[in-house]
Amino acid sequence: MKVLLIGSGGREHALAWKIAASPVLDQLYCAPGNPGIAEVAACVALDVSDHAAVVAFCRDKGIDLVVVGPEAPLVAGLADDLRAAGIKVFGPSKAAAQLEGSKGFTKDLCARFDIPTGAYGRFNNAPKAKAYIREQGAPIVVKADGLAAGKGVVVAMTLDEALEAVDACFEGAFGSAGAEVVVEEYLDGEEASFFCICDGRTALPFGTAQDHKRVGDGDTGVNTGGMGAYSPAPVMTPDMVERTMRELIEPTMRGMAEIGAPFSGVLFAGLMITSDGPKLIEYNTRFGDPETQVLMMRLKDDLLLLLNAAADGMLDQVSIRWSDDPALTVVMAAKGYPASPEKGSVIKGLDETAKLPDVQIFHAGTAMKDGALVANGGRVLNVTATGKTVAEAQAKAYAAVKAIDWPGGFCRSDIGWRAVAREKASN
C-alpha cells in the first residue's frame, strides 16, 4: 500500500513509525513531516490547506490511503474532498469533525442524546457569559468554542479568573475560535483519555492514557498541549471502559448517524471519572498528542491494517491487541513554552540516546539547519519508553532525557507521578 500521512508533530512521527513497520506498506509519504519522520517516510512539501493539491498528489503517486493527523484539516473538510475524488481516507467528515471543531455543538449533542457531561451555557457576548458565571460561581470552566490548539480552555478557580477568561476570548486571544464561549460546570475527579477507532457504524476501543496538561511539576502553572503521558490509565478499569462505551461512545455514534454525520476516524474522549462514573469533558476527532506516542509503543497489531479496515467500514472484522507493559512519554519543550518558545537552539545526542533499550524518541517541533538538528516549535521532542511497571518506564524515559544534550529545552520531572504512587501503594 502507498500511504500519505498528513501532519508534522510528535503524534505523526509516532504514527509514521508504526505504519512504517507494516509488511503491507510499499511507500509512506508525509506532508510536511519533520526530521524524525524523514527517517521512515518521504517528506513532501504539500500545502495541506490546498485540498486540490493534496488530491492531485494522491492521484500522481497512486495513494491507497490518506491518514490525517491534526484536527485543523479535518475541520476544514479535507476528508470530504478526498472522498469526493475517490481517494480512501482515515478521518471524519467536516460535519463529524464538529465534535472537536465546536465545543457548543458537542455539548448540544450530549444534551440531546443523554450523554453524561457537565452543565453548560453557550454565549456569543461577554455580558451574558459573565452574568451566567456570577450566577453559577467558581470554580468553573471557560472554553473558546472553536479550535485553539489546546490552549482555549481556562479552569477558573476564582470568579475573577473566569471573567478574565471571557474577556480574553471576546477580545481575540484565540482568534475566530473565541467568537463564541462555552461555560461549563467544573467536574471533580480524575481525568483520563479514552480512544476508539470508528468506521461510521462500529467503534472499537483503542486504548487509554493519562496526560499532564500543566506546564510545571505537581500539575502547576498554565495549561499546555500536554507535557507528557502514560498508558494504560489505571483509573480506566474494565468496568469503567464498559461504562464509557455504553454511556458515552455508543450514544454518540448513534446520535451522529441520526443527524446525518456518521463518525469515522478516531473518537478521542477526554473524560472526568467522577464519583458518579465517567463524564465527557470534550471530544477530539483525531489521535491525541502526546497520548499517541505511548499508545503506539503498546500496540501489538498492524496499525495500517486497522486504519484501512476503518476506512473500508470493516471494523467488525478485526480486533486489537495491546502489550501489558505500560509506556510513558516525557515532552521536552523549548524554553519559554507555552507563551513564547525560543526557536533555533541546537539539539545533540539523539543518536546515542536512541540506542537505549525500550526507548523511542519522537520528533515534534524540530528542523534541520546548517546540518544541525534545531528546535522549531514549542513541544520539540517526545522521549518515550516502556517497562514492566510505570515506574520502570518512567526511569528509562528520564535516563534518556538526561542523555540528550539540549540546554535550550526543559521538561517536567514528574510525568506519571500519580500512577507511580498507585503502584507503590499496591505493593
Tell me, letter by letter, the H, E, C secondary structure of 247-284.
HHHHHHHHHHHHCCCCCEEEEEEEEEEECCEEEEEEEE
Cell of 133: 458565571
| Percent of the chain topping pLDDT 70 | 99
Pairing of strands 214-216, 89-90: unpaired
Does residue 137 carry a pLDDT above 70?
Answer: yes
Count CB-CB contacts under 10 A for residue 378.
21
Count CB-CB contacts under 10 A for residue 303.
22
Whole-number Å distance between alpha carbons of 261 and 155: 30
Does residue 271 carry a pLDDT above 90?
Answer: yes
The 10s digit of each residue's pLDDT in 54-68 is: 999 999 999 999 999
Distance of CA 281 to the CA centre of its chain: 14
Cell of 53: 493539491
DSSP character string of 93-113: -TTTTHHHH-HHHHHHHHHHT
Task: Looking at mean pLDDT, say which of 111-125, 294-308, 351-365 comes out highest.
Answer: 294-308
The 10s digit of each residue's pLDDT in 161-185 is: 999 989 888 888 787 877 889 899 9
Exposed, middle or buried by CB within 10 Å (0-12, 13-18, 19+), for 299? buried
The average confidence (pLDDT) of the chain is 94
CA 264-266-272 angle, 5° bins: 125
The 10s digit of each residue's pLDDT in 352-377 is: 898 899 999 999 999 999 999 999 98
Q: Please report which confidence band the pLDDT of residue 248 belongs to, taking 50, 70 and 90 as the band edges.
A: very high
CA 383-389-392 angle, 5° bins: 50
Do residues 12 and 69 lie in contact, with contact meaning Cβ atoms separated by under 8 Å?
Answer: yes
Whole-number Å distance between alpha carbons of 99 and 348: 40
Does residue 150 carry a pLDDT above 70?
Answer: no
In the chain, where are the structural domains located?
Answer: 2-94, 125-179, 190-317, 327-426
Whole-number Å distance between alpha carbons of 165 and 336: 21
409 phi, psi to nearest 5 deg: -120, 165
What pLDDT does 393 receive? 98
Whole-number Å distance between alpha carbons of 134 and 145: 20
* DSSP 8-state class, residue 317: G
> Looking at per-residue confidence, does 23 or 224 come out higher?
23
Pairing of strands 153-156, 2-7: unpaired
CATH of domain 327-426: 3.90.600.10
CATH of 125-179, one of 3.30.460.80, 3.40.50.720, 3.30.1490.20, 1.10.3720.10: 3.30.1490.20
Do residues 294 and 328 lie in contact, with contact meaning Cβ atoms separated by under 8 Å?
Answer: yes
Angular region, 150: left φ>0, alpha ψ -120 to 50, beta rest: left
Q: Please report which confidence band the pLDDT of residue 427 belongs to, taking 50, 70 and 90 as the band edges.
A: confident
Beta bridge partners of 90: 67
- The helix/strand count (H/E) of the chain reads as 15, 22
**DSSP SS3 for 237:** coil
Do residues 151 and 338 lie in contact, with contact meaning Cβ atoms separated by under 8 Å?
Answer: yes
Domain 190-317 is classified in which CATH homologous superfamily? ATP-grasp fold, B domain (3.30.470.20)
Q: Which amino acid is it at 110?
A: C
Greatest distance between any 2 Cα atoms in the chain = 59
Whole-number Å distance between alpha carbons of 77 and 255: 20
What pLDDT does 172 receive? 81
Does residue 269 carry a pLDDT above 90?
Answer: yes
Distance of CA 210 to the CA centre of its chain: 11
* Model confidence pTM above 0.75: yes
Which top CATH class is 2-94? alpha beta
Whole-number Å distance between alpha carbons of 380 and 93: 30
Least confident of 85-99, 155-169, 337-351: 155-169
Q: 232: cis peptide before it, omega within 30°?
A: yes
